[in-house]
Structure 1
Amino acid sequence: MLARLVEIVVWAAALTGLTLVFVGSLSPVELLVACVTALGGAFAARRMRLAADVHVEGGRGAVRALLALPGSVVRGLAALTAATAFDATGGSVRRVRLRAGAGAGWAGTLLAASPDTCVIDVPRDDEVIVHALRPNAGPVEKAVARTDGAR
């Protein structure tokens, strides 16, 4: 019961926050409407997640990857700017085998958040395929990838 309530509150807070960001300053009535609408959206989002049978799991390495994300974004912007400015072609497509306990959903999202990395495919729960402008792994990739080379 507590997990359900937490999920609804998190969804409602996220949707209300998005409303505030996109709309800007709101009157008290508009804020009330935004909160009530977000609450309805939260219930709908939870029902959709249950209907799709999606489970959030595999959070190992998530905190480290989140902490590495700002640096990765700055580094990715630099690589993207250099590739655009100097008409550099190339990049590499590589498989990133995820460390045990890491979920492909959140790990792929964080990998794709860097401007110089694009997640092409998620063939398995423990692997993502990325196209990256830089030849070596970035900080987020290092945080979520296996280090032992195991399959």
Structure 2
Amino acid sequence: MVAGAAEIAVRSGALTGLTVLLISTVSPDELLVAATAALGAACAARAMRRAAGVRWRGARGAGRAVLLLPWAVLRGCGTLLAAAVRRPEDAVLRRTAVRQGADPGWAGIVLAASPDTCVLDMPHEDDPLLHTLDRRPGPVEKTVTDPGERR
């Protein structure tokens, strides 16, 4: 019960915050509407997650990956800009393995968030196929993948 209330509160808070960020000036009425809509959406999202049988799991490395994400995006933008100016000689296809204890769902999302990396396929739950413009793994890739499993 407490976990369910916490999940709804976090989802609702995130959705309300996003709505407030997207509105230039927020009146009390708009804030009330945003909070009410976010609460309804959070309840619906929780119900859908439970109906699908999805459970929270595998958060190992998630905090570090989220902290490194801004740096990975900036680095990826630089790599992408350099590739636009000259032909990328370092572009590679690389199959990796998600670290033990990390959920492939969020791992795939943070891997694809960098502009120089694209997750092409994840045929099994733990082995993403990446197309990168740099032979060296980026900071997020180093965090969420197993270094011994890069091929």
TM-score normalized by the length of structure 2: 0.91
State the partner residue of 2:86.
86
- What displacement does 1:34 show? 0.9
More off after superposition, 57-66 vs 136-145: 57-66
Compute the RMSD of aligned alpha carbons.
Answer: 1.7
- What displacement does 1:2 show? 0.8
Conserved in 1, the CA contact under 8 Å of 2:96 and 2:149? Answer: no
| CA distance, structure 2, for counterparts of residue 30 and residue 17 of structure 1 | 12
Structure 1 unaligned regions, length at least 5: none
State the partner residue of 2:118.
118
State the partner residue of 2:145.
145
Structure 2 unaligned regions, length at least 5: none
Aligned residues: 150
Bigger proportion of residues as strand: 1
1:127-142 correspondence runs (5 A): 127-142=127-142
Return the letter of the residue paired with 2:62: A
Report Cα offsets for 1:17-39 as digits up to 9, x if no partner.
11112222111011111111110
The answer to whether 1:66 aligns with 2:70 is no
Report Cα offsets for 1:36-85 as digits up to 9, x if no partner.
11101111111121222222211111122222222211110100001112
Question: 1:37 and 1:6, CA in 2 relative to 1: closer, same or farther beyond 3 A?
Answer: same
Aligned-residue identity in percent:
49
TM-score normalized by the length of structure 1: 0.91
Report Cα offsets for 1:76-108 as digits up to 9, x if no partner.
010000111224377222111011101111111
